[in-house]
Amino acid sequence: MQTDETWATTSDVAVGENSSLTSEQYRKKMERRKQVQEVRVTNASTEKGLIIVNTGNGKGKTTAALGMVLRALGHGYKVAIIQFIKGAWEPAEKRVFSIWQDDLLEFHAMGEGFTWETQDRDRDIEKAVEAWQKGLEYIRNPDFKLVLLDEINIALKLAYLGVEEVLAGLAQKPPDNHVILTGRGAPTALIEQADLVTEMSLIKHPFRDQGIKAQPGIEY
């Protein structure tokens, strides 16, 4: 089975490099790559629950995390989603995921909007702490294979939550369970503790570059 990981190791061949090869040369080259990859897959025998961080200024951090949520639900795993910032609005994915609620999925939108909308730091801290305590309940619960802490990195960046407190909480998760933390500005200590870190780089964005407003099906 070809996974994201195997594709990452086999897709780095320059197009021009391959276009100059004969069919037989290309076949032999791909056969060598296949052998190398088979050794890597065979040697990757360790299993463990992961701490996953999606950060960076680019779009797609929550979207990528929700893709993992969908995969987990597809395997019949129990999942919890805790939203730290976006609770003041109803994303379309919440309606879609509602078919799993009360069975496999727990969805808690506990924020009250983006920080520039609330304009109340004490209230923002209070809601972030409430969201973290709720998330910690699921992190400690062995029945929940995957916990998504959406936009928690922003709460950490703004010092609504203490980094050491969150790291101590993550250390309490069952060994085989996974936790995803999303949001720009993930602190260095969290990145160092994580098993999988992806940084979304902003190259172009329709809102910033063209003044195009958020659209259903794209942003929400």
Q: Which of 61, 78, 127, 145 is catalytic?
A: 61
Q: Dig out the tokens for 31 from the structure.
A: 């056969």
Q: Is the CB of residue 148 less than 8 Å from the CB of residue 80?
A: yes
For residue 84, give the DSSP letter: S
Return the SS3 of 69.
helix
Selecting among 55, 62, 153, 177, the annotated active-site residue is 62
Whether 59 is catalytic = yes
Active site residue 114: yes
Catalytic residue among 17, 24, 46, 116: 116
- Active site includes 5? no
Residue 107 falls in the annotated catalytic set: no
The reply to whether 61 belongs to the active site is: yes
Active-site residue, from 114, 130, 198, 199: 114
10 noted as active-site residue: no
> And the tokens for 81?
């989603």
Catalytic residue among 97, 132, 151, 182: 151
Distance between CA atoms of residues 104 and 140, nearest Å: 17
**In the structure encoding, which two tokens stand for residue 174, read together?**
């069952």
| Contact in structure between 61 and 182 (CB atoms under 8 Å) | yes
Q: Annotated catalytic, 151?
A: yes
Please name the residues in contact with 153: beta carbons below 8 A apart, sequence gap of 6 or more: 53, 55, 181, 182, 183, 184, 185, 186, 187, 190
Of the candidates 18, 27, 57, 123, the residue annotated as catalytic is 57
Active site annotation includes 84: no
- Write down the catalytic residue from 6, 63, 115, 141: 63
**Catalytic site residue 89?**
no
Is 99 buried (19+), middle (13-18) or exposed (0-12) by CB count in 10 A?
exposed
One of 6, 10, 59, 157 is an active-site residue; which one? 59
> Active-site residues: which are they?
57, 59, 61-63, 71, 114, 116, 151
